[in-house]
């Protein structure tokens, strides 16, 4: 079993000082335990967290004895991505508990490999029940069973360790393959410039002045205006 060493937290010590020293403030509660503030090693916790996850039993070793727990909640700094506080849920090793366990997809799907479809992961975790000592870190899902578009993997297809029972409905779909859809390229039709020219010409003719005559009139107007000025002189 995974073990994390802990010491009682001095509430007078500032959190910033605590974290700079490589420690993480934490707390454990549940299963008849009083809520207790503790301090754990950052490096040690991250190693256990990576290997045990939040579904495997862990022992918190204190000066008053070992406490069986689950890593219940981890607060992470949004900038550094480092854990800054941990909640441990104390458990009774003799009583079954329900937890959600992550799924790990393994293998190669023939339907995906040949390009006839895309893999769709419907579930990423399922709920199980077991004694704490039997809780798995994760569960494997073999996608090699997905050979055609008609194949699905159900919760009932997942191989569970001894002593573990699935709470999630056995008929729920875990993964499937959907047909690939080809995206059609949008065809852009070039404008008919001939039609535009004809339309412009027709509009001028409708106004009562043919296109050619309009140019002639515009050219003659300046000469006529000049003639009137000459007569006045």
Note the pTM of the prediction, 2 decimals: 0.69
Instruction: Provide the CATH number for the domain around residue 43.
Output: 2.40.240.10
Q: Which tens digits make up the pLDDT trace of 111-121?
A: 888 888 899 99
pLDDT band at 172 (very low <50, low <70, confident <90, very high): very high
The whole-number pLDDT of residue 79 equals: 93
Instruction: Note whether 123 and 141 are same-domain residues.
Output: yes
CA distance 70 to 216: 96
56 and 104 part of one domain? no
Residues 48, 127, single domain; the answer is no
pLDDT of residue 11: 84
Banded model confidence at residue 159, pLDDT cuts 50, 70, 90: very high
Indicate the residue among 70, 92, 114 that finishes a domain. Answer: 92
Same-domain check for residues 84 and 15: yes
Reply yes or no on whether the pLDDT at 173 is more than 90: yes
- Provide the pLDDT for residue 199: 56
141, 170: one domain: yes
Average pLDDT, the chain: 84
Query: What pLDDT shows up at residue 187?
Result: 60
Is residue 188 in some structural domain? no
Contact (CB, 8 A) for 55 and 102: yes
Q: Are residues 119 and 162 in the same domain?
A: yes
Contact between 138 and 50 under an 8 Å Cβ cutoff? The reply is no
User: Domain residues for 150?
Assistant: 98-179
The confidence band for 106, taking pLDDT boundaries of 50, 70 and 90, is: very high
**Which element (helix H / strand E) includes 46?**
helix 42-52
Pair (104, 157) in one structural domain: yes
pLDDT band at 91 (very low <50, low <70, confident <90, very high): very high
**Which pLDDT value is given to residue 225?**
46
Statement: residue 216 has pLDDT above 70? no
Coil, strand, or helix at residue 81? coil
- Are residues 102 and 68 located together in one domain of the fold? no
Give the CATH number for residue 150: 2.170.120.20
What confidence score (pLDDT) does residue 175 get? 96
Write down the pLDDT at residue 3. Answer: 94
| Residue 229: predicted pLDDT | 46
Question: Of 60, 92, 124, which one is at a domain's C-terminal end?
Answer: 92
For the purposes of burial, counting CB atoms within 10 Å of the CB of 153, is it exposed (0-12), middle (13-18) or buried (19 or more)?
buried
Is pLDDT at 154 greater than 60 in this prediction?
A: yes
Please check the confidence at residue 62 and state whether its pLDDT lies above 90.
Answer: yes
Write down the pLDDT at residue 115.
86
Contact 54, 72 (CB under 8 A): yes
In a domain, 113, yes or no: yes
- Say if strands 23-30 and 83-90 run parallel, antiparallel, or are unpaired: parallel
Number of compact structural domains in the chain: 3
CA angle, 173 then 56 then 11, to 5°: 125
What is the C-alpha separation between 44 and 22, in angstroms, rounded? 10
pLDDT at 12: 85
Q: Are 153 and 145 in contact (CB under 8 A)?
A: yes
Give the pairing type, strands 2-8 and 58-62: parallel
Segments in 96-210 forming alpha helices (H) = 110-113, 193-206
What is the Rg, in whole angstroms, of the alpha carbon atoms belonging to the chain? 38
Same domain, 24 and 40: yes
User: Could you say which of 92, 121, 138 is where a domain stops?
Assistant: 92
Over residues 203-222, the mean pLDDT reads 50
Identify any residues that bridge with 58 across adjacent strands, giving them in sequence order: 2, 69
């Amino acid at each position: 079993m995974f073990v994390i060493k802990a010491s009682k937290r001095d509430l007078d010590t500032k959190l910033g000082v605590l974290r700079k020293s490589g420690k993480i403030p934490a707390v454990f509660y549940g299963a008849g335990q009083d809520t207790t503030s503790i301090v754990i090693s950052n490096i040690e916790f991250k190693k256990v967290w990576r290997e045990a996850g939040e579904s495997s039993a862990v022992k918190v070793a204190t000066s008053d004895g070992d406490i069986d727990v689950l890593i219940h909640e981890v607060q992470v700094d949004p900038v550094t991505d480092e854990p800054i506080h941990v909640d441990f849920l104390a458990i009774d090793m003799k009583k079954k508990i329900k937890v959600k366990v992550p799924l790990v997809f393994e293998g190669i799907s023939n339907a995906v490999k040949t390009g006839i479809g895309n893999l769709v992961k419907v579930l990423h975790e399922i709920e199980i029940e077991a004694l704490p000592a039997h809780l798995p870190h994760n569960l494997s899902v073999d996608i090699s069973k997905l050979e055609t578009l008609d194949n699905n993997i159900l919760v009932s297809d997942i191989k569970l360790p001894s002593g573990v029972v699935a709470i999630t409905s056995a008929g729920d779909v875990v993964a499937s393959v959907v047909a690939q859809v080809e995206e059609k390229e949008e065809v852009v039709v070039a404008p008919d410039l001939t039609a535009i020219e004809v339309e412009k010409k027709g509009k001028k003719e409708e106004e009562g002045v043919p296109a050619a005559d309009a140019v002639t009139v515009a050219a003659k107007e300046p000469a006529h205006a000049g003639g009137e000025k000459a007569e006045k002189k």
